[in-house]
Homo-oligomer: A and B are copies of this chain.
Amino acid sequence: MAKIKVGIVGLGLMGGSLSLALKKHSKDYYFIGLDHNEEHCSQALKLGLADEITTSLDTLKTCDIIFLSIPVDGIIAVSKQLGSLPADCTVIDLGSTKEKISLSVPEEIRHNFVTAHPMTGTEKFGPNAAIEDLYNDKVVVLCDIKMSGEHQEKVAKKLFSDIGMNIVCMGSKEHDRHAAFISHMPHALSYAIANSVIKQEASESIIALAGGGFKDMSRIAKSSPNMWEDIFRQNKSNVLEAIQTLQSELKKCQKMVENEEWDTLNDWMKDANTLHDILD
């Protein structure tokens, strides 16, 4: 049987981990990688994330599946450079915001695209950060799936199931609002916590005391500024709304402490506890 040819544009954490996960599932895949960072290309070859490297998008057009695991701006740019594609080629982008991508892909190849957001990641980046089980037992959101071709929908759903993902379908507009609350605002907050502490006079002795809670809250403040600049730009209005909502909750907490409204504060914390009835 001929191997399934998979192109990966962007050989970082997401693209690299996808290659590892698919390889674990089946030996039938052959991976062609493309990355503007030459060091990433040689690392990817060495780590077995790609079987060959290309510098040309045209080479990838012979693939059965093409993953775009690069920032959102790049995804939109590549979608415009692709030109025409074979009818059964499936392009899956993994961008963290979806509405602009969904609306920007040229009409001619829109049915080739499946626009997906795997709700997973780590604070690390680059090919060395790739891990085999990044996707396992995590949620992937497929957006505006009715704009994808039937074949493409089938390919994407099978592939994400194969690597252990739980598939959720929703509109890209709804996705972007949800993602602002569940992912983008928490990242802004984690950066803010980190900056609040390192700007203190005694920052080193404060940080020396860090326990598990602080480490958890500041972990995602390690994330790539370039990637997150792009996400905040693409999802500006939803991100601002989510930050505003968070600011209001925090202001409430501040007022209750200030005015020593301990019972109300206690109730507010009990409300927060209920998150975990749904989450766990």
Contacts and interface: CB of A to CB of B under 8 A. Distances in A.
A222 B139 contact: no
B278 A207 contact: yes
Contacts of A199: 245, 249
Contact of A209 (B139, B188, B190, B272): B139
Contacts of A278: 198, 203-204, 207
A5 interface: no
Contacts of A211: 119-121, 138-139, 182-183
Given A141-B209, A168-B208, A225-B273, A197 B181 contact: yes
A228 B193 CA distance: 19
B257 A239 contact: yes
A12 to B, nearest CB: 16
A229 to B, nearest CB: 5
A233 B262 contact: yes
A191 B229 contact: no
A151 to B, nearest CB: 26
Nearest to A138: B211
Interface in A186-229: 186-200, 202-223, 225-226, 228-229
B189 A193 contact: yes
A214 B222 CA distance: 14
Interface in A222-280: 222-223, 225-226, 228-229, 232-233, 236, 239-240, 242-247, 249-254, 257-258, 260, 262, 265-276, 278-279
21 contacts: A121-B211, A122-B212, A138-B211, A178-B209, A183-B211, A183-B213, A185-B196, A189-B193, A192-B272, A194-B275, A195-B271, A198-B272, A215-B279, A216-B217, A225-B266, A225-B267, A229-B262, A229-B266, A243-B257, A244-B254, A247-B251
